[in-house]
Chains A and B, each alone.
Chain A
């Protein structure tokens, strides 16, 4: 593969003109209220761009993207010690999106945060785009690990956190797993390792939207009692409203946990949030909105808090 192969080639007829505003990080010294307002605006921009990308590509996983967006913007615009000009800094915090099918949400967040040129978003899933349907480490500098098949990100995050331990580093590793994804056994192998080695700088975030591709998680192969299971594996478990930016930023600020354990954040979310006809609706796992549905969704986003 040559560098030229990675240059996006866009069919201008197929994609919208890009209109994304780069907000960047919550400014230093912002009050908590100001930070929350900044993150809310970022999340609104990301959701708007996400639905446009899915509509233009005719592909995507909009349900699980809308459930995880508030987590992503809180991490990239506030919680994590990382910036676009320090992507190679060994001491940067790490983020891994194990539920790689929510790639459009990650790409949009990276663009709003300043890690990815907004115009690249228009290439999403176009031929030769860096923006594959699942994130690829070799194509985007800010991606730490290629993901897509479920159950990969958490073991990798454990290794990254382990490296930090060996270096006695303060850097932290955040990984987002889907709740349905926790049916993959590799996650529990990794959780055992994380707990036994007391990887306190690891934060495992479960996007607990309670839906998987075909049905509700509890109708498929239930996870409950999830908090008890995670605690039994040696993690400090915190429940949080995964759409509440203030609650999220408070929780992420607690990593590393005072207990010396890895942190598990069970982020209670809804697939498709906050769009009325998508929210908590299994049909929207990877459905593509019609023009009318997109217009309604964009209108709802303008008025959502």
Chain B
């Protein structure tokens, strides 16, 4: 008998986990509805629509209406999952997210599909690199960036019962499984995927697997790197960050977003509590050039090599 080991780099589109989980939830709870802006295909909601045609509310290409209708459905006793391309959901309906979801504290789940630079070649109009920086400033909104299909499914499941508004990024760019067997998502909790004592890499979403690869290459160079996955951007796991700041020489944040998202949040948290040497890996203050998401990730140094280089910069001299 031979044991077949799947290739380590099998990549998964997290949207498959999202829709499978939503259907499971909807089978068990008739309050679950989906709200979309002509985004059935891009949200991979076809099977949901086939199973629950009445529970898919398609308002057409109208994001303000979409988020407002979601809030109204919540007011009417439903648990709405408002699903659209992250770039349009957040930028076009920002005030509805602020007021109708967060300020009103309606229990609704905003699902940002194909976030970051997933729509690479389509250009900066379709990139959602600002979403983390924007949304982490809104009180009362939980912001989750799952790192793989397992965590995506768990975050969706948790959000269905959260009782408060939640934003979840669902990645389109393929990512490998990174969470350990038996992993249970907990809101506001970081996950230490690799222990280390020289430097800490805090990564979120699609960048977690790259951070793990960076830690492996750092080890070959004699550097012990801790890797924290930070699935919840708001609220942050401040304790895990403080421990990393105390126990290692510096922190590198990594995100498929403007560095004012996770990076800014971590820096703000530590600046007054335990000032720490930091480097920020992500998209700088620029509109991206044309290129595929994989090319853009490398272009901006959101790669194992880029992360490892940043980690070496925060090590003490000598």
Contact = CB atoms under 8 A, between A and B. Distances in A.
A92 to B, nearest CB: 11
A152 B33 CA distance: 21
Interface in A222-278: none
A94 B60 CA distance: 25
Contacts of B54: 166
A189 B62 contact: yes
A268 B35 CA distance: 35
Contact of B72 (A90, A162, A192): A162
Contacts of B60: 189, 192-193
A161 B72 contact: yes
Interface in B128-179: none
Contacts of A156: 68-69, 71-72, 75, 100
Given A90-B77, A137-B104, A158 B95 contact: no
Contacts of B65: 155, 158, 186, 189-190, 192-193
A186 B76 CA distance: 20
Instruction: Determine the interface band of chain B, counting residues with CB < 8 A from chain A.
Output: 20 to 34
A157 B72 CA distance: 6
Contacts, number: 114
Contact of A192 (B62, B95, B96): B62
Instruction: Determine the interface band of chain A, counting residues with CB < 8 A from chain B.
Output: 20 to 34
A173 B76 CA distance: 10
B99 A149 contact: yes
B62 A193 contact: yes
Interface in A135-168: 136-138, 144-149, 151-152, 154-164, 166-167
Interface in B40-94: 54-55, 57, 59-60, 62, 64-65, 67-78, 80
Contacts of A144: 75
Contacts of A159: 35, 57, 68-76, 80
A185 interface: yes
A160 B100 CA distance: 12
B73 A163 contact: yes
Contacts of A189: 59-60, 62, 64-65
24 contacts: A94-B75, A137-B105, A145-B71, A145-B106, A146-B103, A146-B104, A148-B99, A149-B99, A155-B72, A156-B72, A156-B75, A158-B65, A158-B68, A158-B69, A159-B70, A159-B71, A159-B75, A160-B73, A163-B73, A166-B33, A189-B59, A190-B68, A192-B60, A193-B60
